[in-house]
Amino acid sequence: MGLDISLTVNGQPVRRSVSAQRLLITLLREDLGLTGTHPGCDTAQCGACTVLLDGAAVKSCNVLAVQADGAAVTTIEGLATEGGPLHPMQRAFGQHHALQCGYCTPGMVMRAVAMEREGVPAEPDAVCHALAGNLCRCTGYHGIVNATCQGLREMRGATP
Ligand code: FES
Ligand code: FES
Atom of ligand 1 nearest to the CA of 41: 4
pLDDT tens digit sequence for 40-69: 999 999 999 999 999 999 999 999 999 999
Residue 160 has pLDDT above 80, yes or no: no
b/e for 84-123, b at 16 or more Cβ within 10 A? Answer: eeebbbbbbbeebebbeeebbbbbbbbbbbbbbeeebebe
- Shared domain for 35 and 73, answered yes or no, is yes
Q: What share of the chain has pLDDT > 70, as a percent?
A: 99
**How much distance in Å is there from the Cα of 144 to the middle of ligand 2?**
10
- Shared domain for 70 and 25, answered yes or no, is yes
Q: Find the ligand nearest to 99 CA.
A: 2
Decide which of 78, 106, 122 is a domain's last residue. 78
User: Is residue 22, in this structure, part of any structural domain at all?
Assistant: yes
Q: Which residues pair with 56 in a beta bridge?
A: 53
CATH assignment of the domain containing 99: 1.10.150.120
Which residues have C-beta atoms less than 6 Å from ligand 1?
A: 39-42, 44-49, 59, 61
Tell me, what's the pLDDT at 144? 98
Amino acid type, 72: A
User: Is residue 115, in this structure, part of any structural domain at all?
Assistant: yes
Residue nearest to atom 4 of ligand 2 (CA): 136
- Shared domain for 96 and 39, answered yes or no, is no
Residue 1 has pLDDT above 80, yes or no: no
pLDDT tens digit sequence for 77-133: 999 998 999 999 999 999 999 999 999 999 999 999 999 999 999 999 999 999 999
Q: What share of the chain is helix, strand, coil (3-state, %, to 5)?
A: 40, 15, 45
Q: Find the ligand nearest to 26 CA.
A: 1
**How much distance in Å is there from the Cα of 22 to the middle of ligand 1?**
15
**How much distance in Å is there from the Cα of 140 to the middle of ligand 2?**
7
Residue 159 has pLDDT above 80, yes or no: no
- Shared domain for 71 and 94, answered yes or no, is no
**pTM given for the model:** 0.97
Tell me, what's the pLDDT at 158? 78
Apex 105 CA angle, 60 and 30, nearest 5: 40
Domain range for 99:
88-155
Decide which of 42, 58, 78 is a domain's last residue. 78
